[in-house]
């Protein structure tokens, strides 16, 4: 069977993550000798867009970079795998965003630094003229690195486009609070769901209350991811719990972002219900947790389908 590809426009962060480790005892407020452990592409929007593309979807990315070498590399890396980067903004005199982690000599995080200033420049003014074109995409994936006003403007102007919210972090997830009723899909981890609902989620009954509260705000499809415990999903067909799929754990980094890609890749296709989408999300999270880094480069549709076939839900 030929599965039609969806058309998904991803808004949000695309940058480099760097990890440096001190070679001697870490001294604050001093020059510390370090070695660079890695420099890898990252950003929630980028992580989701890349997996969506590797799953065969037509994908575009709208984000912002500075006029520097990092920015050029970010755009080239997306476009090399066939992501449409024509809406990536290269902002003169600005610096591409980036996360830098400094580990002490024992490998513990000594300092984490996120420069996300360029994402604050994804303003309504910069997007306004493009609106008719943006509305031509059937799906938008919006990561919470966008400014609150821009998220509100997009939600108010989505037209017939469906909008999926990627919450990014507990603090940034609050940016979706004013637009919950306009979302078509919300996927959040338990800490982000706590921010959005005020409900602390430790056990399944709390997850059920929180997810149904979010549905009650008018969101048709909601998923709360619970780390190693799995996920809960809720739609008009009911609320359910899903165990994670059997996983040979290697590096859970990016598993949450991968869940979005698997879910949206399936759900954006005609006649896919939330159960198939959750199964596909779990499969992508599991495959990513078996891989070093955030991207499964050798992804195959078969591997995802085989893994997804093992998913089982328990109605709550």
Q: Which residues bind ligand ATP (CB under 6 A)?
A: 189, 225-228, 230-231, 244, 247, 249, 252, 254-257, 259, 282, 285-286, 289
> Is the CB of 155 or the CB of 283 nearer to ligand ATP?
283
> Is the CB of 66 or the CB of 281 nearer to ligand ATP?
281
Return the residue matching tokens 């520097």.
68
Q: What part of residues 232-261 is at the interface with Mg ion (CB under 5 A)? A: 256
List the single partner that 260 binds among ligand ATP, Mg ion, none, CB under 5 to 8 Å by kind.
Answer: none
State how far the Cα of 258 lies from the Cα of 242, in Å rounded to an integer: 16
Long-range contacts of 34-42 (CB under 8 A, 24+ apart): 34/102, 37/103, 40/16, 40/293, 40/294, 41/14, 41/15, 41/16, 41/17, 41/73, 41/74, 41/77, 41/295, 42/13, 42/15, 42/16, 42/17, 42/99, 42/294
Count the site residues for Mg ion by CB under 5 A.
Answer: 1
List the single partner that 282 binds among Mg ion, ligand ATP, none, CB under 5 to 8 Å by kind.
Answer: ligand ATP
Q: Which residue is nearest to ligand ATP (CB)?
A: 256
> Is the CB of 143 or the CB of 257 nearer to ligand ATP?
257
| Nearest distance, CB of residue 191 and ligand ATP, angstroms | 7
Return the residue matching tokens 């609106």.
131
CB 172 within 8 A of CB 164: no
List the single partner that 293 binds among ligand ATP, Mg ion, none, CB under 5 to 8 Å by kind.
Answer: none
| Nearest distance, CB of residue 260 and ligand ATP, angstroms | 9
Helix-helix angle 69-80:44-54, to 10 degrees: 20
The torsion angles phi and psi of 292, rounded to 5 degrees, stand at -70, 135
Three-state SS across 153-192?
Answer: HHHHCCCCCEEEEECCCHHHHHHHHHHHHHCCEEEEEHHH
> Is the CB of 66 or the CB of 230 nearer to ligand ATP?
230
| Nearest distance, CB of residue 207 and ligand ATP, angstroms | 11
CB 308 within 8 A of CB 263: no
List the single partner that 255 binds among Mg ion, ligand ATP, none, CB under 5 to 8 Å by kind.
Answer: ligand ATP
List the single partner that 13 binds among ligand ATP, Mg ion, none, CB under 5 to 8 Å by kind.
Answer: none
- State the residues that interact with Mg ion by CB under 5 A: 256
């Amino acid at each position: 069977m030929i599965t039609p590809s969806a058309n998904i426009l991803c808004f949000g962060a695309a940058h480099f993550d760097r990890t440096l480790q001190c070679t001697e005892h870490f001294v604050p407020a001093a020059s510390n000798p370090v070695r660079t452990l890695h420099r890898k592409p990252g950003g929630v929007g980028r992580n989701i867009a890349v997996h969506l593309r590797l799953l065969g979807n037509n994908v575009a990315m709208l984000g912002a970079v500075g006029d520097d070498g990092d920015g050029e590399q970010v755009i080239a890396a997306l476009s090399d795998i066939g992501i449409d980067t024509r809406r990536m903004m290269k902002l003169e005199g600005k610096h591409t965003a980036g996360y830098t982690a400094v580990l002490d000599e024992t490998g513990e995080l000594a300092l984490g630094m996120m420069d996300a200033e360029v994402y604050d420049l994804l303003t309504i003014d910069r997007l306004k003229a493009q609106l008719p074109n943006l509305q031509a995409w059937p799906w938008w994936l919006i990561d919470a690195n966008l400014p609150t006003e821009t998220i509100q403007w997009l939600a108010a102007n989505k037209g017939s486009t469906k909008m999926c919210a990627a919450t990014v972090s507990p603090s940034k997830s609050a940016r979706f609070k004013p637009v919950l009723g306009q979302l078509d899909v919300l996927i959040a981890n338990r800490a982000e769901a706590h921010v959005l609902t005020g409900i602390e989620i430790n056990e399944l009954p709390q997850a059920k209350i929180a997810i149904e509260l979010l549905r009650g705000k008018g969101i048709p499809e909601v998923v709360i991811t619970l780390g190693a415990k799995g996920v809960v999903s809720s739609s008009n067909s009911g609320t359910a719990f899903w165990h994670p799929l059997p996983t040979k754990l290697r590096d859970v980094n990016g598993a949450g972002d991968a869940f979005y890609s698997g879910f949206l890749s399936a759900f954006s296709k005609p006649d896919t219900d939330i159960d198939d989408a959750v199964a596909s999300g779990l499969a992508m999270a599991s495959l990513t947790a078996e891989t070093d880094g955030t991207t499964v480069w050798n992804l195959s549709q078969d591997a995802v389908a085989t893994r997804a076939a093992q998913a089982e839900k328990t109605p709550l």
